Every structure is written in C-alpha cells, then in structure tokens.
A and B are shown apart, each in its own frame.
Chain A
Amino acid sequence: MLFKPIHQSYGDFSIERDPQRCIGCQVCLRQCSYGVHQYNDRLCELTQDESRCVGCHRCEALCPTGALTIRRTPSDFRENALWEPTYIKNIYKQAATGGVLLTGMGNPAPYPIYWDRMLLDASQVTNPSIDPLREPMELKTFLGCRPDALEVEYDGGVPRLKTRFTPQLELDYPLLFSAMSYGSINLNVHKGLARAAEACGILYNTGEGGLHPSLYTYGKNTIVQVASGRFGVHADYLRAGAAVEIKIGQGAKPGIGGHLPGEKIGREISLTRMIPEGSDAISPAPHHDIYSIEDLRQLIYALKEATDYEKPVFVKIAAVHNSAAIASGMVRAGADVICLDGFRGGTGAAPTMIRNNVGIPVELALASVDDRLRQEGIRNQASIVVAGGIRCSADVVKAIALGADAVYIGTAALIAVGCTLCQRCYTGKCPWGIATNDPYLAKRVHPDIAAEKLTNLVKAWGHEIQEMLGGMGINALESLRGNRDKLRAVGLHPAEMEVLGIKPAGG
C-alpha cells in the first residue's frame, strides 16, 4: 500500500462491511483503538485500513446492525507446509525493524493438549452415581501445609485436636484468579476480579504490580504477589492479603522477567508500584536474591516473618523440564502452596519465540510433581495449584484427578469479561478495555458487570464440577484429588501415559 513498508501491507484480517446494512453510525470507528475504520464525510461512507486490524472483533460485536464480519485474510502466498504465512510475515517484520517479535496471551501453537486426551469415569450399576441437586456435594478446598499426623488430646473425655495447623486458605470452589498485575490490566478489571472473588469465596492474585489502595478492603480474598521486580511490595501490602505468592516464573515466558512499558505507568500505577511515573517497570529474569533452594527458603521465611506466620506462602514456577525436582526443593524450602504455570499460560507481553517454544504442558508437569512429592512423602506439606490453559470445568476436574488441589484461571477470566484473544495486549490499546490503562478504553470494563460475569463463570463451573463428581459417585472434591483411576487416556503414547500415571481407555 502507498507509503507503507512491505511488512505492513500483508494484513492478517479482512473486514467485510455489508453496505446494505451499514448505517454510517460510526460506532465501529469509535470502538477501534487501532484506527482501522475511517469516515468519508463527503460520501458519508465508512472505509477501512485492514492492515491495521488485529482481529479483536470489538467493532463487529458493537455494530448495531450486524454489518461487519471480521475474517482471517486468506493467504496470498503459495501453499507451503514448511513456510507458513506466519513465518514469512514474521521475517518481513524483523527484517524491517531488527526487533524481537512481541505477542500477548498464551501459547497458541498446535502442541498436544493433554486435557483432550484424558477422559473421566462415571458410575454404572456397581456403584451409584449421585445427583448434586438432591444430595450434598462438597467443593470446599483448603490450601496450605498439612501436618504429617494429627494428635488428639482428651479433655475430660472430650477429644480435642492438639496439632497446631499452619495457616490454611479456605475456598468455596477449587478455583483462583491468576496473577494479573495492576498495570498489565487496569483497575476496573482488578475491581471486578476482587469483587467476584469475594462473592464466590475464592481468591484473586494481584500479580506483581502491587495493590491499589481501593482494593485493600478485599484483602481476605487477595493473594499478594512478590516478584523479581518487587513492585509495590511493602509491609502493609504483605499484611493486606490472605496469602503471599513468590513468583519465580511465568508459564508464558519461563526464564524471563516482565516488562511494563513506561507509557503504561500513569500516576496511580506509579504510586501503587512505587516507581517514577513514565519509567519502564522491568522485572529481572531471576530474583537477584535467589540463586538456590536455600535462598528461596530465606525469602519464604522472610515473608512468613513479615506476616507473623499468619499467611501461607505460595511459590509459583513455570512448568519446565525438571519441575518435579524443583518442586521438591520448593516444598522443603517451606512453600505452603506450589503453583505450576504451564506453557499455555497467558501474559500481557512476551517475546513470541519464548511464548511459543519454552516450557512444558502443565498436565505433564502436574503429574510428575504430584508423583515426586508422594514418593518423597512430602505431598502433604504443600498444596499444588496449576495454571495455564484451563479452559472449562472438565479441565479443572481432570487437573484435580491428576493431583492438583486447585487451579488458577487467568485467560478464562479475561474471556469472561470480553477478551477475544487477539494477542495484542502488549500494545496497551486493548479495544475491550482490559489490557489497557488508557482511561478512554479502560472504561469499557465496568467493574460491576465484570464482577457479575466472573461470578457467573465460577458458579457455572461449580455446578458442572458437581455434576461430574456426582456422575463418578463422589460426593466431595477431596475424594477426587490425585485419584488418577478416574482418568483414562485416548490416543496417547505409552511414555506419555506413564508420566501422567493413567491407563489407556479400555484398560
């Protein structure tokens, strides 16, 4: 196109505007933050620059007459199984800019999805299934370190628990909202998450961007995160939450730190993160005080000390090749909850090559970590929370059967408030008002609506989990934890089944 470099001429999406339906109201023009739609005053017509379209579907969703359809542009390139258009376009981009390819959200590449290769059991004849609408069905979940044994003492013949428990978190559903920082997403989304967490009796996670003063009131439903940048970490922050999470790694970008560009650091974010306005918020790849399990132990106990041993400490790592050995070290270092973030986990910004090629599926990491901790006899010392690519309640049930205590949902939560996975979070122009701090765009997430949608999602999944449990003849989620006999594999290699610890279907 005229005045455009070659790499910008090959758009990814095309916009079909039905001229018979378009009423020229310009809602699309106002909704698009990428400047795709333009209005021709003289002809009273809308036109478009499709090369700018990111495929977020905001205009399509709000068009009052259904005049717009966003489609993937069919490839103009000759078919080539090796050189798919993505690779060709990426090379054009990099040849033009010399830069690292950036992207957002989780790994979209066609790697195996093990959730879809595992099937759940159900009761037939020999064991009765349970109807959760008629009988109690317990989803209550506790997270934290469990003692090796319980001691009971008798006080005048009345038994009383003598063992003192370390702090536990009580959740009404086996779900938590993943760490998404204030800055990467805006305050309206955080408000929605916090309110939904409170309404559902679960927790949300601040991410590494600190906690906005207006959200301290949701403290009992908040996990405050301490990451390598230490943004927004201070004594009141640590004491504000129900738990503290040390973020070592993130599933979307294992091995590297976060980067929130200075343009996104406005006044409120600057105050919350405790960094100057407009300065880049760069989280180092490692924690500069953690180079070993012993160092991790020091930080865990520093945080426990700072919170009077009243709050469980989570440690979150990206699922990588030797997660099992690392997890063992984390438990021995004193983590009350360990979080495994799989390679499908989302992000506000990551180099494309890292997101698409680093890390392992969380299903495999979970199975191996659960196995390892059992073998070492320390599984009771920490709960396991998995994250990264949990798409539906069946994934949750499968994760729990594989050995998880609870799951983090991040991408699913964002989809609930409108995200269409266009993967352009890093631009700060999110037309859905989620991954943006532009006040004009951020208003598009209404905290009340967001809270309602998130609450609905959690409750809907809760109902479905109850139905699946009932079908298996189980009346409490606790009875499914690590119960891999309830899973069977379809289409998996024996080596994969061995890692997952499950039998083939029919076997």
Chain B
Amino acid sequence: MSAIQQRKRKRVVPIEEACIGCRLCEVACVTEHSRSKDPVRAFKEENPRPRPRNVLEERGHESFSLSCRHCTEPHCVDACIAGAMVRDSETGRVIHHPEKCVGCWSCVMNCPFGAIHMDRERSVIYKCDLCPERERPACVDACPNRALILIEVEE
C-alpha cells in the first residue's frame, strides 16, 4: 500500500439517534457555499441562492442529514460521461467540476444514496464537497446536537 493510500480520509457521519431535525446543517451548507459566507446575505441577497448540498431525511421522529458519502469506489465517477466527477486520490474526496458538467444526470441516477442534486436552471449537479476551505465541514460545526460527526478513516 502506498503512502498516499494510507492517508486518513475525512468522512461526515450522520448519527440518526442524535439528529433533531432542525435543518441547521442545511443553513450552514448554504452559508458556506455562498459568496458572502454570511447567512443573511446568502439567503436574502444572493441570486441564485446557493442550495444546500445536504438534505434532511425525515420520517416521524427519525431523521438524519444526508450528504455525499465520498465513496471509495464511487458509482457517480464511473457514470460521469464528461469527466466532471472525479475522485481525488490524495484526499479521498469526490469532487465535481461544474464547468465540465453537461447535466446528463447520470451520476444522480447512479448514486445509491441520493446524495447528488440537480440544478435544473443551470443544468449542472451539485453535491457535498466536504468544505475544502474549512478545517471541519460547515454542517458538522453547525449541528447543535453532534448528529454530524467528522471521522477520519484509513483506506
């Protein structure tokens, strides 16, 4: 195993028992992926408004925040016809390049988790990028009940 492969890779794990369904993770995601990084401006001024890349799945009192799993063998990367979806072998992140995306939705259909979302207006997909500019993803930092935790896995 090479040194690169032994690196620890970040994963956001939703904890269903702790999720209170507040959707602050979504607010945090929108804010982090806005131009202003300010929640008020992101929601009220920015057009188009950034969309949350994580979605609260909810049934009754059970809920969890779903976002891209950054799979080791991602189906979305295999399915991408344009080379827009790639897996960074160093960080383990599955990264989407919107400038290459042709909006064929192949990745959306192939994602077993439903973690890839369609932006129909711009004909591109959007998904979790694990907040490359932050030490911890915004959703993890915003969760008031430790229902999203950041773990590092060795691969």
Contacts and interface: CB of A to CB of B under 8 A. Distances in A.
* Chains A and B are bound partners: yes
Interface stretch (A7-15, A18-26, A46-54, A233-241): A18-26
A439 B43 contact: no
Contacts of A30: 21-23
Interface string A427-447: 000000100001110011010
B36 to A, nearest CB: 12
B122 interface: no
A64 B27 contact: yes
Interface in B2-51: 17-24, 26-28, 31, 39-40, 42-44
B142 interface: yes
Nearest to B60: A440
A270 to B, nearest CB: 19
B145 interface: yes
A443 B61 contact: yes
* Dominant SS among interface residues on chain A: loop
Interface residues of A, number: 21
B39 A23 contact: yes
B98 interface: no
A27 interface: yes
Contacts of B43: 23-25
B146 interface: yes
A443 B27 contact: no
Given A439-B61, A443-B145, A448-B146, A20 B21 contact: no
Interface residues of B, number: 23
B144 interface: yes
A467 to B, nearest CB: 32
Contacts of B21: 30, 440
A65 to B, nearest CB: 5
Nearest to B28: A64
A96 interface: no
Contact of A443 (B20, B23, B44): B20
A64 B18 contact: no
Nearest to A58: B22
Contacts of A20: 40
A25 B20 contact: no
B61 A440 contact: yes
B149 to A, nearest CB: 11
Interface in B93-144: 142, 144
A353 interface: no
Nearest to B17: A443
Given A25-B43, A449-B145, 18 more contacts: A20-B40, A21-B40, A23-B27, A23-B42, A25-B27, A27-B22, A27-B27, A30-B21, A30-B22, A62-B22, A64-B31, A433-B20, A443-B145, A444-B20, A446-B18, A446-B145, A448-B146, A449-B146
